[in-house]
């Protein structure tokens, strides 16, 4: 008998029929003799609705009460799923985060899980009762309800799977797995059968929206096998697993793109120690995540500093940069919104030369200019005009032979 954590996302519990469908799937797993812990999200659109409702009363936000409010979305769905299980004759009990308990720190809206109590879950499973746990929420040090950030029920599910030492964490969603590129952009994109945590982590943080990034970090840390699959079919999805069992290490596993970036350039920065710190410290203090950073000393002894931030933070970042510019005696700040980041990801890059060069050539062949570049061991990202996003993704996807119709060559497999 295996122990499964089965997590169902918002669309999978989007209406009463779908909730019945979830119950049937859970019942079938139990019939096969497996133990199941269910984790659910709020019904599709509900978290957005609650957030908008809260903001309409308090536009500037109100951490604790906002969490109290948005956590109700998951309270509704756990109760409905438990009721649907009862209707099928399956013993089940819904649990809120604070009833499990899922303990977190006190950072409202982006809390981190510190501990998952397993005693009650074990006791329920021993009695043959299916625990149906509210995702996305926990309980903070002072007993307040906390939430884990958008998409956080993936992280709830992985944390539960780690704490319970489950055999698999199944993430049921409205797509049937992780693809080599967004199928809406590349019609020949392929489903990836197995992918390593490292690659999935890069893809998730680069804009592929199948799994919350934090959930992948947690799965990697605790070695939780994650199976991303469709709640509307029985087919195998994508397994996210350790590198050793990801089987083959492809040079490029996937191509991804992110529109949620903006570029800031600070011109003619005096070239002396401390200028970068003077700029990036206040950005960090404002909680702005800087992504790509490029600095280059020019012949006149000044440097240009270019960096990217999430689009929503552009105005704040610009205001801070303008203040720093006058403090350090730089020339000007240039802000640019119409950019996008396209990236290629693959473990095989570690041992293959020329992958970045090939990416640059493929973009050049389409006449796409590269405005900034960043790399890690297993990824190369290029900043381009956002109107070229789709073209760039298609050129890279086809150019690296990732499409369904592409012949697989030895050069593409490490």
> Which residues of the chain form contacts with Mg ion (CB under 5 A)?
9, 151
Q: Is 41 in the site for ligand ASP (CB under 6 A)?
A: yes
Q: Is 140 in the site for ligand ASP (CB under 6 A)?
A: no
238-241 and 194-196 strand pairing: parallel
- The CB-of-48 to Mg ion minimum distance in angstroms stands at 12
Give 225: exposed, middle or buried? Use CB within 10 Å, 0-12, 13-18, 19+: middle
CA terminus-to-terminus distance, the chain: 37
- The CB-of-164 to Mg ion minimum distance in angstroms stands at 21
CA distances from 109 to 51, 217, 222, 283 (A): 11, 19, 24, 20
Q: Where are the beta strands (DSSP E) in 217-346?
A: 226-230, 238-241, 254-270, 293-297, 302-309, 332-345
- Is residue 163 a contact partner of residue 134, using CB atoms and an 8 Å limit? no
Q: Rounded CA gap, 78 and 34, in Å? A: 20
Number of residues that bind ligand ASP (CB under 6 A): 13
- The CB-of-43 to ligand ASP minimum distance in angstroms stands at 9
Q: Rounded CA gap, 414 and 390, in Å? A: 27
**140 vs 151, which CB is nearer to Mg ion?**
151
- The CB-of-109 to ligand ASP minimum distance in angstroms stands at 11
Q: Is 152 in the site for ligand ASP (CB under 6 A)?
A: yes
Q: Is 47 in the site for ligand ASP (CB under 6 A)?
A: yes
**171 vs 340, which CB is nearer to ligand ASP?**
171
Q: Is 138 in the site for ligand ASP (CB under 6 A)?
A: no
Q: Is 150 in the site for ligand ASP (CB under 6 A)?
A: yes
- The CB-of-155 to ligand ASP minimum distance in angstroms stands at 8
Q: Which of 8, 94, 98, 136 binds ligand ASP (CB under 6 A)?
A: 136
Q: Rounded CA gap, 316 and 313, in Å? A: 5
Q: Is 77 in the site for ligand ASP (CB under 6 A)?
A: no
Cross-strand pairs, 5: 37, 169
- Of Mg ion, ligand ASP, none, which one sits near residue 42, judging by CB under 5 to 8 A according to partner kind? ligand ASP
């Amino acid at each position: 008998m295996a122990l499964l954590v089965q997590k169902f996302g918002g669309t999978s519990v989007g209406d009463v029929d779908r909730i019945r469908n979830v119950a049937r799937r859970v019942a079938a797993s139990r019939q096969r003799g497996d133990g199941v812990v269910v984790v659910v999200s709020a019904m599709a659109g509900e978290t957005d609705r609650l957030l908008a409702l809260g903001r309409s009363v308090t536009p500037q936000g109100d951490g604790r009460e906002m969490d109290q409010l948005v956590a109700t979305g998951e309270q509704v769905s756990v109760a409905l799923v438990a009721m649907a299980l009862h209707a099928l004759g399956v013993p089940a009990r819904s649990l809120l985060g604070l009833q499990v308990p899922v303990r977190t720190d006190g950072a409202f809206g982006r809390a981190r899980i510190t501990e998952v109590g397993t005693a009650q879950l074990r006791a329920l499973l021993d009695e043959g009762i299916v625990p149906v746990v509210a995702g996305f929420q926990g309980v903070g040090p002072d007993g307040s309800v906390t939430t884990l950030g958008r998409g956080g029920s993936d992280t709830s599910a992985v944390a539960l799977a780690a704490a319970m030492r489950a055999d698999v964490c199944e993430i049921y969603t409205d797509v049937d797995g992780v693809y080599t590129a967004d199928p809406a952009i590349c019609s020949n994109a392929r489903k990836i059968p197995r992918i390593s945590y490292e690659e999935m982590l890069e893809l998730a943080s680069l804009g592929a929206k199948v799994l919350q990034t934090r959930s992948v970090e947690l799965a990697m840390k605790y070695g939780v096998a994650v199976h991303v699959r469709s709640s509307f079919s029985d087919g195998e999805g994508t397994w996210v697993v350790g590198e050793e069992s990801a089987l083959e290490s492809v040079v490029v596993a996937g191509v991804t793109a992110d529109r949620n970036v903006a570029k800031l350039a600070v011109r003619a920065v005096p070239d002396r120690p401390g200028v970068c710190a003077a700029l990036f410290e206040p950005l960090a203090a404002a909680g702005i995540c800087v992504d790509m950073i490029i600095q280059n000393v020019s012949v006149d002894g000044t440097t240009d500093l270019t960096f990217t931030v999430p689009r929503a933070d552009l105005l704040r970042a610009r205001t801070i940069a303008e203040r720093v510019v006058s403090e350090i005696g730089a020339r000007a700040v240039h802000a640019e919104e119409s950019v996008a980041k396209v990236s290629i990801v693959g473990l095989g890059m570690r041992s293959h030369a020329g992958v970045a060069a090939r990416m640059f050539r493929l973009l050049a062949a389409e006449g796409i200019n590269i405005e900034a570049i960043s790399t890690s061991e297993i990824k190369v990202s290029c900043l381009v005009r956002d109107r070229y996003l789709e073209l760039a993704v298609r050129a890279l996807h086809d150019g690296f032979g990732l499409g369904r119709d592409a012949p697989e060559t030895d050069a593409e497999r490490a």
